[in-house]
Structure 1
C-alpha cells in the first residue's frame, strides 16, 4: 500500500490506468452499450415510464339515468379518468373489463336519485382492473375520493348547509408537495435509471477487464511483474471509475437537465465525489465476480444475478417499510439503498454531507468489506 503512493507507485498507477482505458475503448461493442445506457436508456426511462394514473378509460353503467347519476359520472374527468362511454348491459360491461377495453366500470343502480332525495344510503359500485396493481390501486383510491366528495356535497345540500341555510363547520386541508411539486415522474425515473446504470457498470466493467485478462492469458504475465495484487486491481477500478463519472456527466447535462429540467439543487461536487466513492466500492462486487467467471458471457450473467437483488432491495421501487420483516436486513446491506438516499438528497432536496454522512459512511463500509473480499480472493487465486 505504501509503495502505491510513492513516486514509482504513482507512475505505475498512471501507466496501468492508461492501459486499462485503451483496452476499454478498443472494445467497440461494450462502448456502444455504455453510450446507449447513459443516453438512450435514461431518456426512455424518464419519458416512457409513469407511476401515475392518467386518462384511465372508464365505462359507465347508468341504471338510473337521472340528473344525480349524470352528475356523479361527470366528475370522473381527466387527468385521472377518461369516460369512454356507456357500458350497455351488465354482461357487456364485464366483457369490456375482460377485454381490457376499459380499466374501470362505474355501476350506478336504479332509483339512485330517489334514494338520495329521501336521505337513504345509495350504493354505487366501481369495478377496477388491477392487472397492474399500482395503477389499479390508484384508480380505486381516486374513485373513492370522487364518490366520497360527491356524497358529502349531497348531504350538505340536503341539510341546507353552505347555501343560505345553517352555517356548518368546515375543514380545509392544505397539501404541500416538497422537492417535486409537479409530481413529475421524469425526475424520479430519470435519476433512478441513472443510478441503476451506474451500478450496472460499476460491477460489469471491472469484472470484464479482469476476465479479459484471463481470456487473453495476460493475467499470468501481470502476476510475474513487480506489481502486487492491489497494484494490478486498483488501476482497473480507477479507470472504470473515470469512465463511469464521464458517463454520469453526459447523462446529467446531456439528457436529464436539458430534456426534463431535472433540478440540481445540491452541490454537484458532492454528488460526483459520492458517485466516485460508490463506483470505487461497488467495483469490489465486480472483482469478486471476476474470480468466479471464466469468460465475458459468465460475467454478464453474474452481473445480472448481483444487480437484480440490489435493485429490488434498494427501496427505489418498493419502500423498505412495505417489505416483509425478514427482507429488511437484506435491504439495509444493499449499497444501492444508501446511494439512492444520497443522490436524491443532493439532486432534489439540496442536502449536504452534514445530513447525508450516515448513508455515505454505511455505503463506504459495505464497499470496503466487499472490495477486501474480492481482492483477497484474487490474491489467493493468482498469488
Structure 2
C-alpha cells in the first residue's frame, strides 16, 4: 500500500509539472489536432484534379469521345491546345498531361491500321504523373473497345471482376493516414515526454531531492510511465472522437476501448525506452540527438509508411523487436477490421514481452544512474 501511495503522489507531481509546462502542453495540442487533421484532410493518394490538355488534330467523333472521357474528380476538364504550344505548355508546368490525337486517327482505326496517339507527361509532378498515365491508358482502352464493338464489352471479357471494399468504400487515403498519424505521434510523445521529464528533474536538482526520500527506482519509474501514459491515452481518445470521427468523418469499425487498452500497453514499452535514452544522455539536447535515430526508424519501418512484407527479410526480423511494428498492426486490425482479442493476441503477447524487456533494461540502467 505504501508503494502504491508513493507512486500515486509521484504521478500527481508529474502531472502538476506538465500542467505548468506551456511548451509541452502546446505540443500535445498540436500533435493530436492540427498534426492529424491537416495531413489527413489534405492528402491525395492517387490521381485527383490533374490538369489535361488535348491537341485534337483529327476532329472526329472518337477524338471527342476520348476528350470527354477525362472527367472530374480525377481530371480537370480537358483544355484544347494548339500543336505548336505543346513544349511551351509542358515547360511552364501548365498541364500535367498533354494528349496528341493525330490526324486521320478515326479513319486508321476503322481501317484496322492500329493508329497511335501520344500522351506527354510532366514527370516532375511525381505524385500524379505515373499513376495518371495509367489511368488515361485504361480509360482510352475502354472507350476505344466500346467504339469498335458497342455493347459487347462483357461478351469479350474472359472473366468479369467485381471489387467491393468492405471498409472505406470510396478508398479515401486520408482515413488510414489519420490513424497512422496518431500512432506516430504517440510514439514521439511517449519517448519525448518521459525522457525530457527525467532530464528536467536532473537539471533542476529535483531528482536529488527524491533520492533522500524513502523511494525506490521502481516507484519513480512507474510514476513517470503511468502519468505520461495517462496523458497520452486521454489525448488519443479525445483526438479519435473529435478529430478523426468528428472533423474527418472516419467511421472507425472497431472497439475504441480495446484500442486505448492496447495504446496503454504500447506506452508501457515506449516510455520505458524513453527513460532508458534519458539515462544515457546528460542534457536535453543530447537526449534529442539520441532520440532521433531511434524514433525515425520506428516511424518509417513499423509498417505505417511501408508494408513490412516489402522490406528485406533480415529487416523484417529486426523490426519484430520494435514495439511500434506490433502497435501499427494492432491499430489497423482493431480500428479498421474490428478484430477482437482472439485475433490480435499474438501481437498483444509480443508487445507485452517487448515492454517487459525494455522496462527491465531501463530500470537496471536507472538504478545505476541513481547510485552513481
TM (norm. structure 2) is: 0.92
Q: List runs of 5+ in structure 1 lacking aligned partners.
A: 1-6
CA deviation vs aligned residue, 1:217-260 (integer Å, no higher than 9, x gap)? 22233234332222211100100000001101210122211212
Q: What's the CA shift for 1:25? A: 1.0
Number of the residue aligned with 2:23: 29
User: Is 2:92 aligned against 1:99?
Assistant: yes
User: Is 2:187 aligned against 1:199?
Assistant: yes
User: Is 2:296 aligned against 1:308?
Assistant: yes
Inter-CA distance 267–106: structure 2 relative to 1 (3 Å threshold): same
Number of the residue aligned with 2:354: 366
Contact 2:269 2:323 in 1 (8 A): no
Number of the residue aligned with 1:143: 136
Q: What's the CA shift for 1:325? A: 4.6
Secondary structure of 2:98's aligned partner: strand
Inter-CA distance 68–264: structure 2 relative to 1 (3 Å threshold): closer
Report the Cα distance in structure 1 between the residues aligned to 2:121 and 2:318, rounded to whole angstroms: 34
Report the Cα distance in structure 1 between the residues aligned to 2:312 and 2:106, rounded to whole angstroms: 45
Contact 1:62 1:69 in 2 (8 A): yes
User: Is 2:123 aligned against 1:127?
Assistant: no
Where do 1:225-244 residues align within 5 Å? Answer: 225-244=213-232
Report the Cα distance in structure 1 between the residues aligned to 2:315 and 2:108, rounded to whole angstroms: 50
Report the Cα distance in structure 1 between the residues aligned to 2:304 and 2:337, rounded to whole angstroms: 16
Report the Cα distance in structure 2 between the residues aligned to 1:344 and 1:271, rounded to whole angstroms: 10
Contact 1:205 1:240 in 2 (8 A): yes
1:265 alignment partner, one of 253, 278, 281: 253
Larger mean CA deviation between 120-129 and 321-330 belongs to 321-330
Q: Name the Cα RMSD after superposition.
A: 2.2
Report the Cα distance in structure 2 between the residues aligned to 1:98 and 1:359, rounded to whole angstroms: 51
Contact 1:200 1:303 in 2 (8 A): no
Inter-CA distance 325–108: structure 2 relative to 1 (3 Å threshold): farther
Contact 1:56 1:81 in 2 (8 A): yes
Secondary structure of 1:291's aligned partner: helix
Q: What's the CA shift for 1:144? A: 1.9
Report the Cα distance in structure 2 between the residues aligned to 1:246 and 1:168, rounded to whole angstroms: 57
For this pair of structures, how many residues does the alignment match?
370
1:75 alignment partner, one of 69, 79, 88: 69
TM (norm. structure 1) is: 0.89
CA deviation vs aligned residue, 1:242-294 (integer Å, no higher than 9, x gap)? 00011012101222112122223222221111010011111122112211233
CA deviation vs aligned residue, 1:143-192 (integer Å, no higher than 9, x gap)? 121122123223324xxx749xxx76674321101221122233212111
CA deviation vs aligned residue, 1:70-120 (integer Å, no higher than 9, x gap)? 211221111111134133235x32332333221222222232112101012
Secondary structure of 1:348's aligned partner: helix
